[in-house]
A and B are shown apart, each in its own frame.
Chain A
Amino acid sequence: MAASMRVAVRGSSLRLLECCSGCKRITKNVPQRSMSVINYWTEQWLNWTTFNLRRKNVLVEKRVEYWGSELAAAHWLLAHQNSAVQFTNGHWYAKNKKGRYYLPRDAVKDEYIISIDAKRSRITYDGLENLFLLKHLKYLSLKGCPHIDDFCLARLHHFKDSLTHLNISECPQITERGLASLHSLKKLERLNMKNLPQVDSPELISVMLEDVLPNLKLQVVSQHVARHHDMMDAAASWRKRTEDSLKQNTSRDEKNAKN
């Protein structure tokens, strides 16, 4: 939820004051009256943001009834989560610079959603419910989403029959346990897990995931394998060179001895 926001600001309005500009005059001597005012407004801001977050992530059944499962998910993503959606006809739909999006019903009547680009969106655990009715989703990008954590990754097992590309880089709340719960996505081919701040050893997890998922190829693993091969080749060539030079030296010594 907005726990990360709440933790950052709760109770420490002084920290908030320190954050906004280096104005030392304010941070030093804040009288008690204005502290309570600051507390009040930060609490109000927190309440509004959590309320708004929950509102944006509710599954509205009327929307599903009216539009059908695919279009309902598309409208939710475009309107509330500011993401981009691609259908089987190859077209991408997203909000334009003015903040409007156009999704004509006739153009996408019998089409399925195959890609979702939800980077830096505010999708939460409850919001993922909107996507479970999609049966043909192939590409999902949750890059930089602040509310995606291990529980959300465990929920991705609904896409086990169709998902081939998953991007969860830069998500601050994901740990190794969430990455290991991706074992159910049997058709996964590419997984982007760069820059995950809470994962200490992505190499170990990558190797184990490659063991479990048959089609998965991770760049980290292939880089390591390539580096290993390069090192073996370099060692072999070094050995060969030293052997050749030794042979040359011994033949030269023999020649000198003969002479």
Chain B
Amino acid sequence: MGMSTVCRIARRCVYSTCKSDMSHFVRSMSFLSEFQKSLKEKDSFAPTENRPADEADIVIIGGGLVGSSIAYFLKRKIVRGMRVVVIERDPAYTRASSSLSVGGIRQQFSLPENIQLSMYGAEFLRNIKEHLTVDDADPPDVQFNPYGYLFLATEKGVRQMKTNYEIQRELGAKVELLTVTKLKEKFPWINTDGIELASYGTANEGWFDPWCLLTALKQKAKSLGVQYVHGNVTGFTIKKDKIPKNGPYDPYYDNRIQNVKISMPNGPEVRSLAATVVVNAAGPQAGHLSKLLKIGEGNNEMSVSLPVEPRKRYVYFYHCPSGPGLDCPLVVDPTGAYFRREGLGGNFICGLSPSEEEEPSVNNLNVDYDWFEDRLWPLLSKRVQAFENLKLKCAWAGFYDYNTVDQNAIIGGHPVISNFFFANGFSGHGIQQAPAIGRAMSELLLEQSYKTIDLSRFGFQRFIDQQPLPEMLVV
């Protein structure tokens, strides 16, 4: 080896040692920056995903089926330029009526608006793959069972059933009236003692999985830009307008909600969200929410409170192998007891709405099994003889957002607080009406009037005028 090669090798060795020193130095530099980065992530003041913006165009309080449906229909029309925020205090929906529901959909109501709302609900479910598919994900499957509802009527209820049938046929609902002989022929397992007439829905009636619909709506709304915030609404700031409502000498001033106060989870922070429009879709807690706005305390129109309160309903799941087979619809007894088949293994689901005196307390979701033994089982076994031998497997309870005045939906604005809207009080038929309610609210908010289904009769004004609009067929 000559001197030059030795020098070259020596130079390379020196460089490599320097490089390794350099690399060590460089690596320690990057380690430092990573440490700084991790500090930033753990910084509690850094922005995280759950924080809402400081202001929003439309704030929907309640992220269940009704709230998500309203958000989806709003964003469907205007994708950019409108900020919609949905506030939900229970993102796992453990106590939500949407997920604990039995999941039935029917067109057999007594008011034409209710019939039209559920008809659109059925159409929405039929075309759900077209409406709610998110890119690059599986299309939603709502598992609709098209087996119909069967309402039974004694002699007292025959006239009401016939008038309801006329209204339903006029609006295009596919319902047929069955006499006792036809009923026996079609469903031989029914005991027709005391039954004079039955109405059976042949199309667009049945039951589905409301949890699938809820997740599909939520995902589609999120993909369109709706922000779901995990928080609890604890108050509002209301501002009185300086301009009176109807002319300069009108003593009534417009009240507007300026901010929504949201208490964030895992801490004492209460955020203030400035809102242009606030929609109450809080389900059973709607009455409590409206009390925060002092609706129910005050003069004149403010003295009328929102008559929505939670009512606990039990649902029981039992096994009866010799029960009705594939042709079993959701049968509703004249006493109010209902049952339906669940799956193909001889399992059934049943329930009964208690009368006003027997209403259970709503502090918890505990199930009363004596209610099944004492009240529900005798009614079931009287109606279907095979149900005398059944085994109760499990049960759960959920809340109805019960409208104490007339058991119908409350949709529309408040006369005094001009940017507060209601979508409450569905009393057990909220999930079937949720898509149509979403569409109606989006029309009301964006176009100032109902375009497809006219729900002006369901406004808050009927409580001020004391003209209730009762629904006869409430299960």
Contact = CB atoms under 8 A, between A and B. Distances in A.
Interface of A: 1-4, 6-7, 10-12, 125, 150-151, 153-155, 157, 175-178, 180-181, 183-184, 204-205, 208-209, 211-212
Contact of A154 (B136, B146, B325, B344): B146
Contacts of A125: 126
Interface stretch (B137-145, B155-163, B234-242, B255-263): B137-145
A12 B325 contact: no
A164 B87 CA distance: 54
Contact of A211 (B126, B144, B147, B325): B325
B144 A177 contact: yes
Contacts of A7: 129, 133, 139
B344 A3 contact: no
Contacts of A12: 135-136
A179 B203 CA distance: 15
A180 B329 CA distance: 11
Interface in B79-113: none
B276 interface: no
A184 B327 contact: yes
Nearest to A176: B344
Top 7 nearest A-B pairs by Cβ distance? A3-B129, A11-B135, A154-B146, A183-B327, A3-B130, A183-B326, A180-B326
Nearest to A204: B344
B129 A180 contact: no
A181 B146 contact: yes
A158 to B, nearest CB: 9
Q: Is the interface of B mostly helix, strand, loop or mixed?
A: loop
Contacts of A155: 203
A180 B143 CA distance: 13
14 contacts: A3-B130, A6-B133, A7-B129, A10-B135, A11-B136, A151-B144, A157-B203, A180-B344, A181-B147, A183-B327, A208-B325, A208-B344, A211-B326, A212-B327
A176 B342 CA distance: 13
Contacts of B135: 10-12
Contacts of A150: 144, 146
Contacts of B326: 180, 183, 208-209, 211-212
B154 interface: no
Contacts of B127: 1, 3
A204 B136 CA distance: 34
A10 B145 contact: no
Contacts of B136: 11-12
A176 B203 CA distance: 17
B202 interface: yes
B146 A3 contact: no
Given A4-B129, A6-B130, A177-B146, A212 B325 contact: yes
Nearest to A125: B126
Interface string B190-213: 000000000000110010000000
A18 to B, nearest CB: 13
Interface in B117-138: 126-127, 129-130, 133, 135-136
A157 B129 CA distance: 24
Given A3-B133, A10-B133, A212-B326, 17 more contacts: A1-B127, A1-B130, A2-B130, A3-B130, A4-B139, A10-B135, A12-B135, A151-B146, A154-B146, A154-B206, A177-B144, A180-B145, A180-B147, A181-B146, A204-B344, A211-B326, A212-B327
